[in-house]
Structure formats: C-alpha cells, structure tokens
Structure 1
C-alpha cells in the first residue's frame, strides 16, 4: 500500500473508532430526558451507560481474535452492521428494558469494530515513527471522543431530542460500510485456527456483568443481602473460571503468554485505571452539573468543551514527548494530572460556578487525558507481532472499557450511599447530592493515582523512545503469513 492509501484507510477506521467512543458518553447528558420519557428508575438509569460498557469490554477479546482468524476487514464490516442496526433500534426504543438491551447489542457491535480496526492500523504501518504517529492520532481520538460525545449529546438533546443521539450513527455507519471495502485492505493470519473460545467469552462477559450489577444494586438491597452476595460471588467465580479456561484451552481467547510482555501488561493495567477514573469523572461530573447546578443538557455539553479542547490541543505534544522520552514518564504525568484534576473537583459546592469551581479541574483533566491515552495506545502495541495484533488491540481496549464500566458502577454506588446517609441525617437534597458526588470524585482521584504508579514502575521507561530509533522491520515473520494486497481491491 502507498502512504496515501494507508492514510485514507486510516481515516475510515478512525471515524468508526470515534463513533464507538462517542457512544460511551453521548447518552450521559441525555439521561434525565431519557429517564423521564421511558420512566426509568434512578438506579436503573445508569444501565443505559453500563450495558454498553460491559458488553463492549466483555466481547473485545473475542472480537480481536475473530478479526485475526476470519479477516480483519470482514469482521470490521460485520461489527459496523451490528452497531448501526442497534443504533437505529435504540432511537426507536419506547420502554426502558428495550433500550438497555439494545445498548448492550450496540456495545457488542463496537466490540467487533474496534479491535479489528486497531489491528488493521497496526499492520498497515511499520513499527517505528510512522506507526507511532498513527497510534498517537488514535490515542488523541480516544482522549477527545468522550468529551466530544457530551457536547454533541447536549446540542442534539436540546434542539432535536435524545433519540437523535442514536440516529446520528446511521449515516456515519452507512458511509463507513460503503467506503471500507474500497480503501481498507484485508488481512488475516492464515495459520491461526478458526476456532473461538466461546466458553471463555461467555464466562468473562457474564462474570463482569454480575460484578457490575452487584456493585450497582448493593446500596439499595444491602451489601449483606443474598442478592448482592450472590451476584458478587458468582461474578468472581466466573472470572476465576475464565482464567482456568484460558490456561487450558487449545485456542484461548486470551493466551496468557501475552501478559508476560511487561510493556503490554503495564499499558493494559494503566488503561483499566484510566478508564475507571476518567469515564467515572465524566459520569459523576455530568450528574453534578445537572442535578445540583441545574445545567441543561446543552450547558453541560458546553462545559465539557474545556476538557475536550485541551486534550486535542495537547495531543501533538504528547506524541512528540513519547517519541523522545518513552511512554512511562508521559503516562505517569498524565495520570497525575487526572488525579489532581478530579481531586480539585472534589472541592465542589452546592452553588458552584463554572469559572470559579469547574473550569480549573476540567482543563487539568483534559490535559491529563492527552498525556495518558496516547502513551497507553502506543505502549499497549509495542513489540506485539502481527499474529497477535487483534488480540493485543482487543486486550488494550477491554481494559479501558471495563475500567470505565466498573468505575461508573463504583462511583455511582459511592455517591448514592453517601447522599442517602446525608439525606437520612436531615441534610437538604442538594447538600446531600453534593456530598455524594464529592466522595465519588475522591474515588476517581485515587484510581488515577494508582495509574501514576503503573506508569512509573511497570512500563519500561525507554521502550517507545528506543523503538522509534530502531530501523523498521522489512518484512513480516513468515510464521505470521499476513496477507496485504499491493493495491486496493474489492
């Protein structure tokens, strides 16, 4: 492929990736409207966000392995069909259960799209400066997509209605479906057995779903209630079973050998904490703006513009610094900024003002995402062979999305528990809510602080900088047998 063809293909893949990331948060500012129209309970409303995140994260590994075996472009197109169809179903939803189920299907479609797209990007660009540039742009999309989703959600909800946040995906998905066969190359691992670890996929997805469900409902049911204990115990047992299955399976969904790569393991661990801290911060911050400060959906989206613009503005600098000093120190700095920004946000009050109380934390956190998402995206694929491209990309995004789903569940639980205790003590409703959100921000800050340790202690400090100085590989390994056409076909 020529350079022009590679970047054309990258553009199509990046648009699809952006669409899946935006859908993680685009519903956040629309939740009050969705809740009123479809008569959601307060505790059930978070599942509009969580259902997408759990199926997204739980099926990413299977999506990545399927892409390696069946053909990355073919699987990418299948995921686009599922995602686009589910988006239409979400827009047409007229009851709460149907919407939550379709959000889960939408997340499954995203789980098919994303690892296929990222593994195609990885294999189109030779390891070194050009791949780092592509992965840097990919990380910038991930860093900005979440907050751009909030802005878009606010505008669309205000002027068109919440249904149109899902209708937006339809023309985008159809355009990608038309362009991808023309500009995106096909590739697969010919020697990889076309067998899938369906039992592994079932156990990891069910286990995570039960854990998130147990964490989310325990404040209402009681942590010692049979329902809560049963959900948490069953979830933990299924995840342990998943590890046992992977250690013995002939074609495991997650070959445990890849976790012995220190850079990959460190990037995935940091990605989990990044998702848990940042996506939870977005979720809790949005609720604070709307439920305490009385912001409309549009005002909330515009407030998050501070985070998004800062992230986009600093993405190029982040990529440059990673190339010069390596992923580890830049990642640690980014996670420190996110921790500091969310800790600053914990000083919120009942009568908070944007410039006095919110702008600072939003700008600092936005800078942190630029310096965290990009080094994680690069480090998570450094040194990975073409044979494991889908697996590595699926694992990296699994960590981020599951971190986000669990982070949202944990922080919403903390906020609800604290707010309930303050309300029972006779505090005014807005005071009780603010106290709950404050404690949730402390949890976000603690998660991000753990990410600082990961960046500083696990990921080798000079890995990426050294990789960029090495001569690019001249050919793929013969054992991998990755097939790329010299010209765009089909």
Structure 2
C-alpha cells in the first residue's frame, strides 16, 4: 500500500523537523547574504561591477541545476541525495565564510547553489513519499510551506543580527550547525519507501538542455536588472533560453526515460500551481527588495531593525500555512484556499501602494505585512502539497524540483522586472520635480527620497496586478484537495497516475 510507510513509521514526524531545518537553511540563504553584502564587498575588495556575482553565482547554479537535482534524487535515492546536499552545502558555506579573495566568494556561492539544487528537491520529495495520508500530509506540508514562505524574512533578520553584532562571515558559518544537525537527524530517522526509486538511465541531452536553458533564463533576467531590457546580452540570453527550453520539451517528448516526464507538467492542477506560484514569488521578491530599501534608506532603520520589521509577515505566513491551510486542506478544494489566499495577499500589497516618506509602520506597513503573510501562507501550503500529489513516487523528485524552479525563476523575474519599473518611475519623478526643489541640499534630498518612494509604489501596483493574475489562475486551473482519498503516487494497475480523474470528491 503506498501510504504504509506513513502509517507504520512514527519517526517520520521527527524526521520532518530535520527536513524543515534543511529547507530553512536553503531558503534563508537567498536573503541572508544580501544584508551582509556591503560589509563583505568592502572586506574582500570586490568591485561594484562584480558584486552582483555574490548573488548571481548562487542563483544561476541553483536555478540551472534544480531539474537535474530532482532527477538525481529519484535515481540515487532521496535520503542519500539529501545528506550529500547537506554535506556539500556546509562545505561551500565554510569556504564562503573563510574567503580572502573575491574569486573564493564567487566560487563558494556557486557551490552553495549546486548543492542547494540537490538538497531542495530531495527535501520536498521526501515529504511527498513519507506523508501520503491526507490529514497528516496537510500538517506536514503546512509546516514546510510556512518555512518555504517565511524563510526569506528569517534570512533578513538573521543576516542583520549576524552582520551588526558579529561579522559578515557568520552569515555563511551559521549554515554549518544547521547542516550537521539536519544530516544527523536524516541518517537516524529518515526512511523512504524502496519502490520510490527511479532507476531509469539518466537523460543526458535533457540534463544539458534544461541546465543551459534555465541558466540562460535566470541570467537573462539578472542582466536585465543591471544592464536594461534593450541590452544585446540581455536579449541574447533570453532568446537562447527560449530556444534551449523549447528543444528540451521536444527531446523530453521523444526519449524513453525523460529527465522531466511531460505528464508532470501537462496535468492541469500541477501546471496551474507552478504558474501561480511563480507569479506570486515575482510579487514577493519585489516586495522584499523594495521594503528593505524603504525601511533602511527612507525610514533610516538599522539592519537589525529592518529584519525585525519583517516579523509580522513571517508570523502571518506561519499562521496562514499551519492554522488555515493545513486545517482546511482536507476539507475544501485547493482553489478555495489558493485563490482567496492570493487575493488577501493582493489586498496587503495594495495597502503598500499608499507608502509615503513618513508612513507609519504600525498603521500601514504592519497590517499590510500581516495580510501578505496570511495570504501567501494559506496559498503556499496547498501548492506544496498538490504539486507532488498524484505523481508516481518515481517522479516525485522532478515534480518537487519544478516547485523550486518556479520559485527560483519567479524570484529572478520579480527582482529584474519590478526593479526596472521602479527605477524608471524614480527617474521620471526626479526629472519632473528636480527643478522645483531649488538649490537647497535638504530639498534635493527630499525629492530623491520621494522619487524612491514613487518608484516603489509604482512597482508595487504591478505586483498587485500580478497577484490578481495568480489568484485567477488558481480559481480556474487548480483542482484537488478537499475530501480526497487519493494518495500521492496512487495510480492504476499499470502504475500510471490517474491524470484524468479529479482528486476532488466533495466539498462542504
């Protein structure tokens, strides 16, 4: 029986704690280094032109290798892949913390991305094959969803504290105890069903095309942020990504053992989840960027105070994921959670379009963050669960990798797209108001701050629209959840997943 492991092995709940630690380490690493970057740049002598590679090296390796990492988990075993990812991530973090030259830092961040691409899909797919009973699955994915959504805010807080009170190097070294604890727990507690392995030959052409295509896509959007959308290199990489990924789809439709079976993508619910989740991450990453700059530059918050200021969002995500999403996942359809969840998040984002240079944190920013957190947490939880529900156990690694890929690509697109919109609005505001500010330095400074806020609010309006589109997709495409008795990996007698049967049976 597919869910026998879930019902028999009580250690899976203890194992969940260590899987959660590993996931937190990967997610917070996307933001923890951002706050430490100015100090690291000064200490290592990294030029302004090259500092982007501290972020970009991680994003390219992580985003480009996720599908490969998911397939390795299916082929090699999730537990083994999980532990290998932890060990490699810890070693790369040690190298980054001990860096004395820029190239050491860039190399360490790239290696973190490589091993993160092994670790992240292995963690999610372990949950998929360990928790298959609907109510237990809802609780497990509620915890995982809260961490996946709130880890970025934790990274901002932890990065601020470590940078301000210790040293930027500790934003790397802090990963080591996390990794050791998670590895020890995994060795002792994690058991995965033996039938969940996929021992088919590795699809080498698929690996090459998907890796190059995803790297080109992420780097194209990264270049757009720095060089502009009309830059020849930006256009070239984006076109190359389209060509490579199209070739990847063609190859996957023809090879005997594809890296990414197209049935994983063509399922209506999973396709809707990947798309809506990616759009939501676009909005969320843009918000992290703008709100961090707003609080530090416009409101003059310290790094630590800025990190703490994100606590309401993290609290909202935890409540939305564990108390709303997890409790309702087995009772109502996922579309009735994800659709309204994205709408609530859009209302929170809408409040932030009212930002001024002197806006009150208590009356505007705090309630906006709570709504954002509640909405995102409620939406992320069923998304994480349903993205891996109904797939063959042998495909759970690549299905999990697609969740991470949609998040990673969404983050790259969000940072580039919304930052470009904000920069254009800021430039236009300065051009319109600089002459009226006179020669006073104070007046010029005020215009600059107002221009920054104008740029942020303009981009946030776009983020509101993107969240509304994510909500529409959730309402129209996503099915599943509710009173389902269909466990992950359940299929017909031939092992095929039941693509055409709706998971939803009834609702209250």
The two structures have a TM-score, normalised by structure 2, of 0.86
Q: 2:417 aligns with which of 386, 410, 414?
A: 410
**Greater Cα shift, 251-260 or 413-422:** 413-422
Match of residue 352 from structure 1: 359
Instruction: Indicate yes or no: 2:279 matched with 1:278.
Output: no
Q: 1:483 is matched with which residue? A: none
Contact 2:129 2:196 in 1 (8 A): no
Are residues 426 and 328 of structure 1, via their aligned partners in 2, closer, same or farther at CA, if it must alter by over 3 Å? same
Question: In structure 1, what is the equivalent of residue 238 of structure 2?
Answer: 232
Query: Residue 483 of structure 2 aligns to a residue in which SS?
Result: helix
In structure 1, the gaps of 5 or more residues are 481-490
Deviations 1:118-146 (A, max 9, x none): 22222122342222221222112212222
Quick one: which of 123, 131, 135 aligns to 2:129?
A: 123
- C-alpha separation in 2, matches of 1:471 and 1:214: 40
Which is worse superposed, 241-250 or 34-43? 34-43
- Paired residue for 2:350? 343
Shift of the alpha carbon at 1:173?
0.8
What SS class does the counterpart of residue 339 from structure 1 fall into? helix
Secondary structure of the equivalent of 1:195?
coil
Task: Return the offset for 1:79.
Answer: 0.9
Query: In 2, Cα distance between the equivalents of 1:205 and 1:406?
Result: 17
The number of residues matched between the two structures is: 477
Residue 250 of structure 2: aligned partner: 244
Cα distance in 2, alignment partners of residues 252 and 267 from structure 1: 21
2:468 matches 1:449: yes
Distance between the aligned counterparts of 2:198 and 2:10, measured in 1?
Answer: 30
Asked if 2 retains the 8 angstrom alpha-carbon contact of 1:43 and 1:217, the reply is no
User: CA separation in 2, counterparts of 1:395 and 1:38?
Assistant: 35
CA distance in 2, matches of 1:357, 1:139: 26
Question: CA, structure 1 residues 331+196, in 2 after alignment: closer, same or farther (shift >3 Å)?
Answer: same
For 1:183 and 1:219, the matched residues in 2 are separated by 43
CA positional deviation for 1:192 = 3.4
Distance 1:200 1:188, change over 3 A: farther
Distance 1:29 1:57, change over 3 A: same
| Distance (Å, rounded) in 2 between the aligned partners of 1:475 and 1:240 | 30
Deviations 1:5-48 (A, max 9, x none): 12122222121112111112222333443444445566755554
Shift of 1:154: 1.6
Q: 1:80 aligns with which of 79, 86, 102?
A: 86
Distance change (3 Å), C-alpha of 1:423 and 1:188: farther
Q: Which residue of 2 aligns with 1:378?
A: 385
Match of 1:254 in 2: 260
1:340-359 deviation digits (Å, cap 9, x = unpaired):
22222122122333123321
Cα distance, 1:473 vs structure 2: 9.0
Query: What pairs up with 1:44-193 in 2 under 5 angstroms?
Result: 45-187=51-193, 192-193=198-199
- In structure 2, do the counterparts of structure 1 residues 436 and 199 end up closer, same or farther at CA, with 3 Å as the change threshold? farther
Give the conservation status (yes or no) of the 8 Å contact 1:50–1:405: no
How big is the shift at 1:206? 2.9
| Residues 240-249 or 319-328, more deviating | 240-249
Counterpart Cα distance in 2 of 1:293 and 1:41 = 27
Q: 1:87 to 1:374 in 2, by over 3 A?
A: same
Aligned 8 A contact 1:284 1:411 in 2:
no
Give the secondary-structure state (helix, strand or coil) at the position aligned to 2:253.
helix
Distance 1:32 1:466, change over 3 A: same
Q: What does residue 464 of structure 1 align with?
A: 481
Q: Are 1:203 and 2:209 an aligned pair? A: yes
Match of 2:295 among 289, 294, 309: 289
User: Where do 5+ consecutive residues of structure 2 fail to align?
Assistant: 435-446, 496-508
What TM-score, normalized to structure 1? 0.89
Matched, 1:10 2:16: yes
**Bigger relative contact order (CA 8 A; separation at least 6):** 1
